Amino acid sequence: MVKISDFLNLSARENVERALAKAREHEAFHALLSLSEDRALERAAKVDAGEITGRLAGVPFIAKDNFLTLGDTTTAASKFLENFKAPLQATAIEKLEAEGAICIGKANLDAYAHGGSTENSAFGPTKNAHDQARVAGGSSGGSAVVVALDIVPFALGSDTGGSIRQPASFNGVVGVKPTYGTVSRYGVVAMASSTDTIGVLSADVEDAELVMDILSGQDRKDMTTLPDFFVPTLIESPKRIGVIKEFMTEDVDADVRARVTEYIEAMKTKGHTVEEVSLPMVKYALGIYYIVVPAEISSNLGRYDGIRYGARAEASSLGEVYGLSRDQGFMPENKRRIMIGSYVLSSGFFDAYYLQAQKARTLLINEFNKIFESFDVIVGPVAPTPAFKLGENTEDPVKMYLADIMTVPASLAGLPAVSVPAGVTNEGLPVGVQLIGPRKSDALLLALAKEGEK
C-alpha cells in the first residue's frame, strides 16, 4: 500500500494528478463525494514553486465530507448540505495544508456521521475495498476505502463511537481515534460533542503517527482541546497487556477471535505480559451510548433549520420551513436519533434515561481506571464480525447499533483507541485488532502498533 514517503520530493502536481486519476479509476466503490481538482492543482503549483514547504509537502490526502474545506462542497452526505460551500476550513485541514499536504477530495460517510456502514449516506453507500457486495463500515467508510485502494496515503475521519476504527478494521487499514480533546474539532460538522473526536486512517502506522503529531494541540477555536501531549515514541520495555474477556466470547466471529488471538500471541513473543481482564460494564456501554449520543445529536442538529444555510423546503409558514426542511434534509437514521434524543431529554424521562446513562458512564470510566492501574494497554477486536453484506442490517437499527459494541466504551470514557490490521478471515475479509489505553497514551498505542507491524 502507498505511504507518505512515496510522495515526498516528487512533483506535487504529478502526485495530485496521479491520485485524482486513481480516484476516477475506482469510482465504482463510491468512496468519494467530490474532487477538488482546481484547488488541489493550485496548491500543488505553490508547493512545486517552493512557496509552501513542510513535512507533507506535495502529499495528497482526502477528508471525510464532514470537514469544512474550501474548493468544493461540504455535504456531511446529507441533502440538507448538498450544495453547501463552506466559508472557512476546519483547523485540521488548515494544519495539514500548512505542512504542504493537499486535499484532493471528500469522502463519503453516513449522513452526519450517523451509522456504522456508510449506507445512510444520502448519495448512496460506499462499497468495501475487498468485496463490493459488502459494506465499507462507517461512518468514515469512504475515508477507509480510499486508503485501502491506494488512492492516497492517509485520510481524515471523525470517530464518535467507532466511526474511524470500525471502517479501518473492515478495510484492512490503520485507524486512530485519539484521546478526547487531542485534535481541534473547529470546522467539523458536530454530532455528539462529548465524544466527537478527529483522527486519521492510513496504510502505515508511522504515517498515522506523523499526521497525529501535526494535528494534535490546543486551538483557541475549540475550547475542549488539550495542550499538545502527543510525542511519537518507541517501545523500550515490556508492557502489561490485558485482553478484554467480554470481547472474546463465542458470540464473536471465530475468524475474528482467531486473528486477534494470533496478534496477542505475537505481542507475547516480543516480551510483553498478557493477561485476561474483565470489564463487566462494557455490556451496558452500547445502552449508555444510544442515550447520551442521541441526546447530544438532537441538540446539535437543532441548527439545521433551513433559515441561515443549507436547503430550505418550499413552505408557506415559518413552522413549515423548519418541519419540512428538516424532514426532507435528514435521512431516516438522523430522524431516529433526533427523536430518541428528544425522548430521553423530555421532562418525565430525563432521570430514567439521560441521567441514569451519565451515572452508568461514570461506572464504566471507574472500571477502566481500575484496569489501567494494573495494565498499560488493553486489547480486543474492533468489531464482532468482519464487514457484513450491503443491506444486511439496514432494516433493523438495533442490529446495526450492535456493530458498535466494542468501540463505544473507549468513546464514552474519552480514551485513545487504535485499530490495526490483524490479517484476514478465511473468506479474505480484513480483521482489525483494537488497542485501548489510558487518556493521553496515544503515542504508546501507536508505538505498540508499529512494533506489531515488524
- 91, with CB counted inside 10 A (0-12, 13-18, 19+), is buried
Task: Return phi, psi of residue 102, to 5°.
Answer: -125, 120
Binders of other proteins among 252-291, rule CB under 8 A?
284, 286-288, 290-291
Reduced to 3 states, what is the DSSP secondary structure of residue 199?
A: strand
Q: How many residues contact other proteins, by CB under 8 A?
A: 71
Angle between helices 37-48 and 12-25 (to 10 degrees): 150
Q: Any catalytic annotation for residue 139?
A: yes
Nearest to 285 by CA among 405, 417, 165, 371: 405
Nearer to other proteins, 11 or 328 (CB): 328
> Which residue do the cell numbers 471523525 mark?
158
- 335, with CB counted inside 10 A (0-12, 13-18, 19+), is middle
Nearer to other proteins, 129 or 418 (CB): 418
* Site pattern 84..123 for other proteins (x: CB under 8 A): xx-xx-----------------------------------
Nearer to other proteins, 268 or 359 (CB): 359
Question: Does 397 interact with other proteins (rule: CB under 8 A)?
Answer: yes
Question: Does 339 interact with other proteins (rule: CB under 8 A)?
Answer: yes
From 62-70, 203-211, 327-335, 374-382, span contacting other proteins (CB under 8 A): 327-335
| Structure-block grid coordinates of residue 162 | 467507532
Nearest to 416 by CA among 389, 434, 393, 392: 434
Nearest to 220 by CA among 98, 66, 91, 89: 91
Among 414, 421, 430, 437, the residue binding other proteins under the rule CB under 8 A is 414
Nearer to other proteins, 5 or 369 (CB): 369
Among 363, 389, 391, 427, the residue binding other proteins under the rule CB under 8 A is 363
From 99-107, 207-215, 362-370, 429-437, span contacting other proteins (CB under 8 A): 362-370
Per-position DSSP letters for 162-176, written without gaps between them: STTHHHHHHHT-EEE
> Which residue do the cell numbers 484521546 mark?
179
Question: Does 54 interact with other proteins (rule: CB under 8 A)?
Answer: no
Distances in Å between the Cα of 435 and the Cα atoms of 179, 213, 243, 331, 346 are 13, 19, 10, 33, 37
From 7-15, 361-369, 376-384, 426-434, span contacting other proteins (CB under 8 A): 361-369
Task: Return phi, psi of residue 114, to 5°.
Answer: -95, 100
Among 105, 141, 161, 181, the residue binding other proteins under the rule CB under 8 A is 181
Question: Does 321 interact with other proteins (rule: CB under 8 A)?
Answer: yes
Q: Any catalytic annotation for residue 389?
A: no
DSSP 8-state secondary structure symbol assigned to residue 353: I
Q: Which of 163, 202, 298, 419 is catalytic?
A: 163
Question: Does 356 interact with other proteins (rule: CB under 8 A)?
Answer: yes
Query: What is the rounded CA–CA span in Å between residue 182 and residue 415?
Result: 10
Question: Does 70 interact with other proteins (rule: CB under 8 A)?
Answer: no
Binders of other proteins among 192-251, rule CB under 8 A?
194-195, 220-221, 223-224, 226
Question: Does 316 interact with other proteins (rule: CB under 8 A)?
Answer: yes
Nearest-approach distance from CB 337 to other proteins, in angstroms: 9
Among 133, 318, 370, 374, the residue binding other proteins under the rule CB under 8 A is 318
Angle between helices 356-374 and 282-300 (to 10 degrees): 130
> Which residue do the cell numbers 487504535 mark?
418
Nearest-approach distance from CB 355 to other proteins, in angstroms: 6
Question: Does 310 interact with other proteins (rule: CB under 8 A)?
Answer: yes
Nearest-approach distance from CB 192 to other proteins, in angstroms: 12
Nearest-approach distance from CB 82 to other proteins, in angstroms: 12
| Structure-block grid coordinates of residue 378 | 488493553
Nearer to other proteins, 143 or 216 (CB): 216
> Which residue do the cell numbers 473468506 mark?
427
On whether the CB atoms of residues 79 and 123 are closer than 8 A, the answer is no
Nearer to other proteins, 50 or 87 (CB): 87
Nearer to other proteins, 7 or 67 (CB): 67
Nearest-approach distance from CB 98 to other proteins, in angstroms: 15
Nearest-approach distance from CB 419 to other proteins, in angstroms: 20
Question: Does 362 interact with other proteins (rule: CB under 8 A)?
Answer: yes
Distances in Å between the Cα of 306 and the Cα atoms of 77, 186, 255, 299, 335 are 16, 22, 47, 16, 16
Nearer to other proteins, 269 or 317 (CB): 317
Query: What is the rounded CA–CA span in Å between residue 350 and residue 274?
Result: 42
Q: Any catalytic annotation for residue 440?
A: no
From 47-55, 62-70, 110-118, 391-399, span contacting other proteins (CB under 8 A): 391-399
Nearest-approach distance from CB 297 to other proteins, in angstroms: 10
> Which residue do the cell numbers 447520551 mark?
292
Query: What is the rounded CA–CA span in Å between residue 75 and residue 78?
Result: 6
Query: What is the rounded CA–CA span in Å between residue 66 and residue 111?
Result: 9
**Amino acid found at 224:** T
Question: Does 180 interact with other proteins (rule: CB under 8 A)?
Answer: yes
Catalytic residues: 64, 139, 163
